[in-house]
Amino acid sequence: MKPSVANRIVFGILAWIAALIMFFPILWMIVTAFKTEGQAIAIPPLILFKPTLTSFIDATTNAGYLLFALNSVIVSVGSTIIAIAIAFPAAYALAFFPGKRTEFTLMWMLSTKMLPAVGVLMPIYLGLKTIGLLDTRTALVAIDMLMNLPIVVWMLYSFFKEIPGEILEAARVDGIGPRQQMWHLLLPLSGPGIASTALLAIILSWNEAFWSINVTASHAGTLAAYIARFSAPEGLFWAKLSAASVLAVAPILIFGSLTQRRLVRGLTFGAVK
């Protein structure tokens, strides 16, 4: 007794309607990005028009856009590489040498994620000011790295747990030390897991707005800060802002769709797989 054909068609159509409604705002932004400023605010809204790249050119040649884009790349990639470098040995130790304190360590790391950023805004801001790191990429790399570190440890841990312990055990019996095990066994074995962990960290860092808005200005701001900050003066230039936004979200939309299933593990600390 399979569900009737009629039912399946109805549910299929409903699913597509729901998907299109959710996606519509993004689609409309993309459409607007290919309009001129005049077309962007025309009422009734233009559906058929001659697409132009003017807004993309204007947006990218605008004051500092490229610098902010570069900052986004450096901060998200930099913070992710450092986070993985620190988390990899930690997750290895937690996954393959569990002891009495393993669970506590994992839980404590998770609990640091629960700290509301705004609660430590003042000390971080004043501290960065004192050591002259306000509005620097270094500061933002460090902040994003620390924000993502617990998630990265957790996600790597959960991937490592799926690797049969016997493989490492055999290596140990052959006298291969932890360092070689990590480099020559774990790294290749957990490649896809590391890749999805890295993607999640890059996505979270790229989209991070709170710290970027609050501890950067014109030098180290990322695209999230750029778009939030310039929305006021540029508020009237919808097409240009849409073009800038499309460029800002496009890489993440692509990364996100590549790994959506595996992301769940990191996003829920392994509670849902």
Partner 1 sequence: MDQGSATLKATAPPAATRGSRQVNTLPMLLPAIIVLLLWSVLPLLRTLLYSFQHYDLMTPPATFNGGLNYRYLFTDPSTWIAIKNSVVLVIGVLAASIVFGTLIALLLNNDFPGQSIARLLAIAPFFVMSPVAALIWKNLLLDPVSGLFGWFMTLAGLHPIAWFSVAPMTSVIIIYSWRWIPFATLILLTALQSLDTDQLEAARMDGAKGFARLRYIVLPHLLRPISIVIMLESIFLLSAFAVIYTTTNGGPGDATTTLTYLIFIKALNDFSIGSASAAGVFAIVLANILAVFLIRAVSRNLQA
Which residues between 159 and 178 bind partner 1 (CB under 8 A)? 161-162, 165, 169, 172, 178
Q: By C-beta, is 63 or 253 nearer to partner 1?
A: 253
Three-state SS string over the chain comes to: CCCCHHHHHHHHHHHHHHHHHHHHHHHHHHHHHCCCHHHHCCCCCCCCCCCCCHHHHHHHCCCCHHHHHHHHHHHHHHHHHHHHHHHHHHHHHHHHCCCCCHHHHHHHHHHHCCCCHHHHHHHHHHHHHHCCCCCCHHHHHHHHHHHHHHHHHHHHHHHHCCCCHHHHHHHHHCCCCHHHHHHHHHHHHCHHHHHHHHHHHHHHHHHCCHHHHHHCCCCCCCHHHHHHHCCCCCCCCHHHHHHHHHHHHHHHHHHHHHHHHHHHHHHCCCCCC
Tell me which residues in 98-157 interact with partner 1 (CB under 8 A).
98-99, 102-103, 105-107, 109-127, 146, 149-150, 153
| 183 in contact with partner 1 (CB under 8 A) | no
Least gap, CB of 84 to partner 1 (angstroms): 11
Is position 209 an interface residue for partner 1 (rule: CB under 8 A)? yes
Least CB distance to partner 1 at residue 47 (A): 11
Nearer to partner 1, 138 or 268 (CB): 268
Binding segment for partner 1 (CB under 8 A), chosen from 56-64, 81-89, 133-141, 184-192, is 81-89
The reply to whether 90 sits near partner 1 by the rule CB under 8 A is yes
Spatial contact of 64 and 245, defined as CB atoms under 8 Å apart:
no
Residues in contact with partner 1, counted by CB under 8 A, come to a total of 107
Residues 18-37 that bind partner 1 (CB under 8 A): 18-20, 22-23, 25-26, 28-29, 32
CB of 270 to partner 1, least distance (A): 7
Question: How far does the chain reach from its first CA to its final CA, in angstroms?
Answer: 30
Contact call for residue 223 and partner 1 (CB under 8 A) = yes
Span from 51-59, 130-138, 187-195, 240-248 in contact with partner 1 (CB under 8 A): 240-248
Q: How far is the CB of 57 from partner 1 (least distance, A)?
A: 19
Q: Are 211 and 125 in contact (CB under 8 A)?
A: no
Contact set for partner 1, span 244-263 (CB under 8 A): 245, 248-249, 252-253, 255-257, 260-261, 263
Name which of 50 and 272 has its Cβ closer to partner 1.
Answer: 272
